[in-house]
Amino acid sequence: MLVDTRSCESSAHACSHKRSEDGCADCKVRLISVCSVLALAELEELELLSQHLSFEKGQALFGQGEAANSVYNVIEGALRLTRLLPDGRRQVMGFALPGDFLGLALQERHSVSAEALGPVKTCRFGRHDFAAVVEAKPHLLRSLHERAGYELNLAQDQMLLLGRRTAEEKVAAFLLSLRDRFARTGRCSVTVELPMGRQDVADYLGLTIETVSRILSRLDRAHTILVVPGGVRLLDQDRLRRLAAS
């Protein structure tokens, strides 16, 4: 079966559009999103500018090089952020989870592609409309600055991952980072969901898929983790933290 990978910004048929059935005040991710600083009346104002979109696995919110006309708040699901290198290789730059905002960079065109790893729901705002709201609300601007700082920390962590760590240390750090990011959404569990495939993890960590699979199997045999369908259970988080801190 062919998967439609056209982006929503380039094709109206790549995803479904609808107004929110629940108001912004009832949004599942409002308390962990930049919108959390807005009062109820301000949320109603913001909702008038919003549009809910649903995506299936493999569909794209936007593609690398496309005009950045919208910003998106991820409500449900996970997305893979990729960049196509000049030599044709694909680099996974990161993963977007509920509460993340996409498209806030100042560039006129997207520097990455954003593809759904499974069913995804987002809230979309026109970029200029959203910018006007931000300009009129300094507290929302401060919230965006805090979000930018959080994303900068994630980028610095990624640079460290791709630096001088061993493959095992990279995998351990990745699992703990993903656990912490899910915890921000209220999903605190020793079982960490892995919505991305092992090839995605390998491309993100600068490893081969064989290396990622071998390390997960080794950690499983050592009872540090337990590989389960759709994710891993962190059995010995102290050992994972020691590995990640190496």
More confident call, 71 vs 216 = 216
Region 21-48: mean pLDDT is: 74
Same fold, 16-157 and 164-244: no
Q: Which helix (H) or strand (E) holds 16?
A: strand 16-18
Instruction: Please calculate the CA angle 225-227-228 and round it to the nearest 5 degrees.
Output: 130
Concatenated DSSP letters of 141-162: HHHHHHHHHHHHHHHHHHHHHT
109 against 11, higher pLDDT: 109
Q: How far is CA 83 from CA 36, 44, 199, 211, 239, in A?
A: 30, 36, 15, 22, 33
- The letter for the amino acid at 53 is L
CATH says 164-244 is which class?
Answer: mainly alpha
- 33: number of Cβ within 10 Å: 22
pLDDT tens figures, 109-120 = 899 999 999 999
Reading phi first (left if > 0) and then psi (alpha if -120 to 50, else beta), residue 99 is in left
**Between 2.60.120.10, 3.40.50.2300, 3.30.465.10, 2.160.10.10, what CATH number should domain 16-157 receive?**
2.60.120.10
DSSP H or E stretch at residue 205: helix 198-205
Answer whether residue 41 shows pLDDT above 50: yes
Q: What is the pLDDT of residues 77-90, one digit of tens each?
A: 999 999 998 888 88
- Residue 135: its pLDDT value, please? 83
> Measured between alpha carbons, how far is residue 79 from residues 139, 154, 168, 220 in Å?
28, 16, 24, 26
Mean of pLDDT values over 31-38 = 75
Task: Kindly state the helix (H) or strand (E) to which residue 170 belongs, with its residue range.
Answer: helix 167-184
Q: Measured between alpha carbons, how far is 6 from 133 in angstroms, rounded to an integer? A: 29
Give the pLDDT band (50/70/90) at residue 106: low
Residue 141: alpha-carbon gap to chain centroid: 21
pLDDT of amino acid 161: 65
- Please tell me the predicted confidence (pLDDT) of residue 10: 54
Tell me the pLDDT band of 101, cut-offs 50, 70 and 90: confident
Domain ranges of the chain: 16-157, 164-244
Band of residue 11 on the pLDDT scale cut at 50, 70, 90: very low
Nearest to 112 by CA among 16, 3, 203: 203
Task: Read off the pLDDT of residues 120-171 as tens digits, 9 standing for 90 and up.
Answer: 999 998 988 888 888 888 888 787 777 777 677 777 776 776 777 899 999 9
pTM exceeding the 0.85 threshold for the entire prediction? no
